[in-house]
Amino acid sequence: MFELLKTDSETAARRGRLRTRHGLVETPIFMPVGTQGTVKALTPAHLREIGAQIILGNTYHLSLRPGSEVVRQLGGLHQFMGWDGPILTDSGGFQVFSLAKLREIRDDGVAFSSHLDGSKLFLGPREVMAIQENLGSDIAMVLDECPPWPCAREDCARAVGRSRRWAEECLRIASGSGFLASGSLVFAIAQGSTFDDLRREAAESLGALDFSGYAVGGVSVGEPEPEMLKQVAATTPFLPAGKPRYTMGLGTPPQLLKMVALGVDMFDCVMPTRVARNGLAFTPEGTINLRNERFRTDPRPLVEGLDNYTCRNFSRAYLRHLALAGEMLSGTLLTIHNLHFFLDLMGQARAHIEAGDYGRWHRDWIDRYEAGGA
């Protein structure tokens, strides 16, 4: 299911290929986030045009509405949303962190009060695997407990132990139900917060089980960037080398390149879509806020030579006008550009790993981006 094609000689960067039921995924890869069965502001045709290979859905949100049984009856999430490529679904484990005031963690799972109407929802290993089977996920994530930052060691150790038990149960259920036999994949999630020994313990104990892939969880939950990178570096060396590695829920373009250098293969983040709806665009020289006066008569595209619909057809001045006027098209055009920028960056990373010069290239790219000046 995963083929490691090349490793960089200077860094831990990897070039790989992941096979799923709905197609191949070339890694390193960025995955646009479609939490509720849609990548905000875009159609599946937009996603195909910008080169998206795989997108995300979310178990917690889709189980609340429209309900996983509804999606199953209508042919599964691929048919429901009109996307024929691979889909990874998060288990709802991040909501254990983000909805801390609306949930109770138990040994058998998590009891939520819906953020929509207060109705009760319980997610244990059996529930999250059943929901993801109803959705028809190509890659299902196990249920895990994502500890906050900062976190007391004792609390973190409990979360690591509980997450491992849940992961083992998710794998057992996926094996017994035929989910794995159907070609779907199941990824485990290594937690451990800022404790290197707990990170290693989680990675090694989960690595001893035959999961399809492994994620580094519990990062980008409020900690400073150096600590975040330290947590990734403390985890990836102890994950199986022959399986894909996924860092969940981040980050900026420089952070992605730094984590590729640490041996991470897959990423997702809501950032490029979220900031697009507020007039922010990514360029090789850093982000630009199109609401600024200096772009009022700027005839240039967002990025000269970047081959996406937005850059081929529209000026910064026009995009600024749309953003200030509150036009919906602003969010669509900037989302097309931002996601393509991230996807193109991963394409460049793959090419430089293959060429053998990833180390120098990614440092130069980050230096240019962080110097700004766009």
Q: Which residues are catalytic?
A: 90, 268
Strands across the sheet containing 2-7:
2-7, 14-20, 23-27
Nearest to 90, CA basis, from 338, 320, 268? 268
DSSP string, 286-324: EEEETTSGGGTT--S-SSTT--SHHHHH--HHHHHHHHH
Are 32 and 39 within 8 A, CB to CB?
A: yes
Query: Cβ atoms within 10 A of the Cβ of 259, count?
Result: 26
- CA distances, 126 to each of 2, 37, 250 (Å): 26, 22, 28
Q: How many residues does the chain have?
A: 374
Q: Residue 102 and residue 81: Cα distance in Å, rounded?
A: 29
Query: Cβ atoms within 10 A of the Cβ of 297, count?
Result: 10
- Quote the tokens at residue 249: 């829920």
Question: Can you tell me whether residue 4 is helix, strand or coil?
Answer: strand
Nearest to 353, CA basis, from 268, 264, 293? 264
At position 139, the amino acid (one-letter code) is I
H runs (alpha helix) in 84-152: 93-98, 125-135
SS3 content of the chain, % helix, strand, coil (to 5): 45, 20, 35
Query: Cβ atoms within 10 A of the Cβ of 356, count?
Result: 13
Question: Can you tell me whether residue 110 is helix, strand or coil?
Answer: strand
Q: Is 328 exposed, middle or buried (0-12, 13-18, 19+ CB in 10 A)?
A: exposed
Q: Residue 366 and residue 263: Cα distance in Å, rounded?
A: 17
